Every structure is written in C-alpha cells, then in structure tokens.
Amino acid sequence: MSAERAVLIWGAGGHGKVVAAVARAMGWAVLGYVDRDDAKRGVQVQDGGGAVVLAEAELDRDTLAEWQRDRGLTAVLLGVGDNRSRLACLDRIAPSLANPAIHPSAVLHSSEPLGLGTVVCAGAVIQPGASIGRAVIVNTGAIVEHDCVLGDGSHLSSGAVLTGGVQVGKRTLVGAGSVVLPGIAIGDDAIVGAGAVVHRDVPDGVAVVGNPARPLGGDR
C-alpha cells in the first residue's frame, strides 16, 4: 500500500460511505473509519469496505502521528454530515492531514484552492472565480457557478445550483435540488429547503422553503 493512498474516514454513517467512495475513486486506500460510538469499533461499515478502527474520543494528534508512522496514513477525510461537528473535527486534525478530496468526475474550473477538509463529490461542477471554504461538502451533482462563495462548514446538497455571484455563509445547508438566483447572499447557520428557489437574501439562522422561497412558518 503506497503512502499517498492511505486515508482514514472520520464518520462511519451514510456520508462517510460517500466520502470513502470519493477516496477510492481517487485511487486512495481506506484504512478504516473513525466513529463517535466506541461500541462500533470493529464493525464493518460496508461489505469489503473497511471497519471502524478508532473512536472519536481517542483521536488526537499523537494517535494520528502513530498512524502516519506505522501505517502510512497521509490524510483524514471528513465524513461527518453535521456542519458544526464537521468543522470541530477539522480543528483536531493537523493541516498536513486535512487534504481536500475531489472525485475524478467532478469538474473544477476555479483556480482558487479548496479549503482544508473539503470534499467535492461525483459529478459536481465548480466554475471560475468560485471560492470554497474549509470543511465544505459539495455533494453529488451540485453546481457552483462563477464567483460564488461557500463559507466554512457549509453543505451544498446533491443537485443544488448556485447561480453566479451567490454567497453562502458558514455552517449553512443548501438543500437538494434547490436553486439560488444570481447575487443572493445566504447568512451563517441558515437552511435552504430541498427544491427551494431562493430569490432574495436569507438572514443568519433562518430556514427558507418553497418556490419562491419563504421563511419556514412565515407567510406564503
């Protein structure tokens, strides 16, 4: 096993499986998974796809250094779906191990470097001038058009489209199949519901749904 292909996946749930698939598509070998629940140690996450080898509580820089030395570990990929938790995980990983991961079928036209801990999934498109922060998920088939900004810990869900010049705040979730129109700013810790069409700015901490998007529980 070559050193450049040895990774751990932090998160043994559904998103962790997706991130493992990204890693394998890149030609990286998955050494195993890290999970919050110590009772899952040794549990196979996928048939033939690796088991839980470490509990989250024991994962520190000394442990990771041992894995680098003894098992050729070169990256820890973030498979944690919750935005705030994923950012907290990143803070526990040395920058040298927090490589972004990009599925080979993704299309990246932006010259801006991806933030540490970010994962770009199969079929995603990132256009020129786009800026992607730390611990971001650009999920399957999502589109980030020109000059968009995705803040740290945000998640652009499967099939979502950010048209030109959109700004997405930190830890914000943009739901599957949603469309955000040009120049819109979405604040920190906001939620855009699946299938929503966002035509005006969304403040911090607000959830919007529908077409046109309205605050959840507000007037339609």
Which positions are catalytic? 146
| Distance set, CA 103 to CA 19, 20, 96, 106, 157 (Å) | 9, 10, 20, 5, 15
Could you tell me if 201 and 184 are in contact, meaning their C-beta atoms sit under 8 angstroms apart? yes
- Does the CA dihedral 108-28-44-71 come out positive or negative? negative
Q: Rounded distance, CA 16 to CA 8, Å?
A: 10
Could you tell me if 197 and 182 are in contact, meaning their C-beta atoms sit under 8 angstroms apart? no
